Amino acid sequence: MPPIWRVSPNLALTYDGRGNIVVASTMSCSPFPWETTLGIGLGYKPYTLKGIRLMVTSSRRRTLIVAVVLTAVAIFAVVAYANHSWGNYHWARTSNPFTVKLGDNTTGPWPAHLSLASSDWTLSTVLDTTIVAGGTGGARRCPATLGRVEVCNAKYGQNGWLGIASIWANGDHITQGTVKLNDTYFNMAQYNTSAWRQFVACQEVGHTFGLDHQDTVFNNYNLGTCMDYTNAPAGGIVNGFDYGPSNEHPNTHDYDELGLIYNSHLDSTNTSFQTIGRGAAAGNDSSEWGRLVRTTNEGRTALFERDLGNGNKMFTFVIWADQAEAGE
């Protein structure tokens, strides 16, 4: 087996025996342009540094390994910039930071989780969030409100999903959004934990700002962000595998991506300060979400798009429950 050098929890190196050093990262957003040639370790995504040729000899090997590791780390630090935006979708605004209102239609333990998610995302330098009274008039349907994000929880039934985040967009501009949290599953032992609730609430709210996932593999090492799918939101060792850090909060990579999205330009209007008007709802079933754009992890994650005409679209991110774990 080729030698492996783990530089960090998210980065490992190996020699492929053909004169190439292979860099492998758990970060799906790493935009390496090099050819993938060799997998090393669960969930690691390998990239070959074609320009680095190894002279593996007994006398020089240790010095060479150190030099290559340092070189690869330096390259990785440059290229592993944030790039997990959700297309070009963003809230229009005339200045930064701007404020996104989160309408609180939640009950039970959810208000505390929404409050923490709001505080976490407000650490961004380009946007603030503020929690306001919910305006849906019915948490089960959870209709959107123009110029803000409505957050709801209810027993939406055994329809397969833990949470969904929907945005309505005109062109590239987000005009409204909703988050739904399915208590049918969160009342089950598998998901009835603070870590699972915080992870899903944080991720779904993050989607409504224009963020995509950093990683969509459930059973690899956690990246320390709620925008990374996982089987263990609290991190640590679960069923013999070390998931590493908690995935209950955003990380620096998320804040960097928000900076890239919202510092790229300003707009002539503010879609987050529109006249309030209650309107459409995303629906609770995939038949109401439009066409399936993509799916990953054997269907456990999905993105849907519904064309509403006249340049208006609705996008819905879905995180499905593990049917086996949920007893279905």
Residues 251 and 116: beta-carbon distance below 8 Å: no
Predicted TM-score (pTM) of the model is: 0.74
Q: Which residues of 40-63 are buried (b: 16+ CB within 10 A; e: fewer)?
A: beebbbbbbbeebebeeeeeeeee
Residues 40 and 12: beta-carbon distance below 8 Å: yes
Residues 40 and 46: beta-carbon distance below 8 Å: yes
Query: Residue 179 burial (CB < 10 Å; 0-12/13-18/19+)?
Result: buried
Enter the CATH code of domain 90-320: 3.40.390.10
Q: Which residues of 254-290 are buried (b: 16+ CB within 10 A; e: fewer)?
A: bbbbbbebbeeeebeebbbbeeeeeebbbbbebeebb
Residue 154, beta-bridge partner list: 182
Residue with tokens 């590791």: 69
Q: Map out the domains of the chain as residue ranges.
A: 4-79, 90-320
Residuewise pLDDT in 10s, the chain (328 residues): 444 554 444 455 555 554 455 555 444 343 333 333 333 333 333 333 333 333 333 344 444 444 444 444 433 433 344 577 877 899 999 999 999 999 999 999 999 999 999 999 999 999 999 999 998 777 788 999 999 999 999 999 999 999 999 999 999 999 999 999 999 999 999 999 999 999 999 999 999 999 999 998 899 999 999 999 999 999 999 999 999 999 999 999 999 999 999 999 999 999 986 644 445 777 777 788 889 887 776 666 688 899 988 889 999 988 888 754 544 4
Closest CA to 145 of 270, 277, 274: 277
